[in-house]
Amino acid sequence: MRLVVVGSQWGDEGKGKVTDFLGQKADVVVRSQGGNNAGHTIMIGNEKFALQTIPSGIFNPHIKNVLANGMVINPKEALKELNNLKARGIKDFQLYISNRAHVIMPYHILLDGGYESLKGDHKIGTTKKGIGPCYADKVNRIGIRIGDLIDKESFKEVLANTLPIKNMELKMLGLEPLDFDQIYNEYIAYGQELAPYVCDTSYLLNEEIANDANILFEGAQGSMLCLDHGSYPYVTSSSPTAASVPVNAGIAPKYIDHCVGICKAYTTRVGEGPFPTELKNDLGNLIREKGHEYGTVTHRPRRVGYLDLVVVNYAKRISGIDSLALMLFDVLTGIDELKICVGYKLGDKEINTIPATLREYAKCEPIYISLKPWHEDIADIREYNKLPQACKDYIETIEKYTGISVDIISVGPERTETIIRKDVFKK
């Protein structure tokens, strides 16, 4: 079976936890887009891991972990992540890196910061990892790919073509140009270190499909951060939808069997941009503290708001979500004023979708329904029927307004703190 895990909101929904949990049945775990802007937290017992570039299947020696062609990879940071994992005893792993994935170079990081400062009040609030500038070079056909990085002659040629253009851009932004020899020598060394992992991952994945392997595609970011369908321009520079998986992994669309939407029981967002259900008050602060809502990558406080089902329905529409995993449900325990947004009011109209323009989206007011709170500790519950009635009402409201079944409920960060209603990842 081939299963896609997608974020159904603005990222940080708990994709890492679900990937690790479902991944126990996977033969292959694939990251197909984004880069180290992602921060996927996994708790195994008392041990906490925060993965950025490496797939969440890395802890299981039987799983083939793939960084596919649609990713942008910072070789220095990827190696650091691997070395940190090794230092923590994760030495026995399988890793495959696409020779077609793009390389995040030092000028991408400088340009990311440079463009953000230039935008002033209109900054996106990026992770400053060089993601946007790297994808821009890919589209502009001046990118450097992993296949080039591991080949000394190729790397020399592509860097010589690209660096003068990038140095002009740096100078335009008032930044210092970079030295060819210094970058070449540093990066060729990373290339040599990564070379044993590099291959044609599309070929590998198609062989795995032919062998009927269980493959899990671990989405990064969230649907509302999609370059095409998200709250543009406050988005990332790739598409974190199920539809993007085939092109970003080099497999045919017909091989995707099931899509699990990962959905926080409330909503969070990092960075700038519209957020209709945002709670800029004590309740928002309370949820932030209870849910430890601080960015994994940048440690920024996450913006917090009520669950927005217009967003989840939109994610369902663009990715074809078959099941929902409802995450951080325990955080809502004891929150007395519980609400869910089921539509927006735009002027005198009621709408059930996301407007394309920022101006219109900024004018949307949430239409809420109120729900009964619960006070019982639910962290130890493992069976749906044992949940308090108010919890079941919350879940059934989500099912009613989205038409998607909530098949997984997460009541704590640890692997085992999970209620399973349906086995969504069968062999």
Query: Which amino acid appears at position 224 of this protein?
Result: M
- Stretch (H or E) spanning 3: strand 2-7
What is the closest distance, in whole angstroms, from the C-beta atom of residue 7 to ligand IMO in the complex? 5
Tokens at residue 111, please?
């340009």
What letter does residue 12 receive in the DSSP assignment?
-
Q: Which of 35, 39, 57, 130 is the binder for ligand GDP (CB under 6 A)? A: 39
DSSP 147-209: HHHTSHHHHHHHHHHHHHHHHHHHHHTT-PPPPHHHHHHHHHHHHHHHGGGEE-HHHHHHHHH
The entry of Mg ion, ligand GDP, ligand IMO, none near residue 390 (CB within 5 to 8 angstroms by kind) is none
The entry of Mg ion, ligand GDP, ligand IMO, none near residue 131 (CB within 5 to 8 angstroms by kind) is ligand IMO
12 is a catalytic site residue: yes
108 is a catalytic site residue: no
124 binds ligand IMO (CB under 6 A): yes
Residue indicated by tokens 């890395």: 58
Specify the 3-state DSSP secondary structure of 267. Answer: strand
Report the candidate in 150, 132, 283, 310 with the shortest Cα–Cα distance to residue 221. 132
What is the closest distance, in whole angstroms, from the C-beta atom of residue 207 to ligand GDP in the complex? 28
Strand partners, 414: 43
Alpha helices in 325-410 (DSSP H): 358-363, 389-402
The entry of ligand GDP, ligand IMO, Mg ion, none near residue 129 (CB within 5 to 8 angstroms by kind) is ligand IMO
Rounded Cα distance, 73 and 67, in Å: 9
214 binds ligand IMO (CB under 6 A): no
Q: Is residue 9 within 8 Å of 312, Cβ to Cβ?
A: yes
76 alpha-carbon distance from chain centroid: 20
What is the closest distance, in whole angstroms, from the C-beta atom of residue 284 to ligand IMO in the complex? 17
Choice between 291 and 343, CB closer to ligand IMO? 291
237 binds ligand IMO (CB under 6 A): yes
What is the closest distance, in whole angstroms, from the C-beta atom of residue 40 to Mg ion in the complex? 6
410 binds ligand IMO (CB under 6 A): no
220 binds ligand IMO (CB under 6 A): yes
The entry of Mg ion, ligand GDP, ligand IMO, none near residue 331 (CB within 5 to 8 angstroms by kind) is ligand GDP
Query: Which amino acid appears at position 69 of this protein?
Result: N
Site for ligand GDP in 302-361 (CB under 6 A): 327-328, 330-331
Specify the 3-state DSSP secondary structure of 145. Answer: strand
- What residues make contact with ligand GDP under the rule CB under 6 A? 7, 11-17, 39-41, 43, 292, 296, 327-328, 330-331, 410-413
Which residues are identified as catalytic? 12, 40
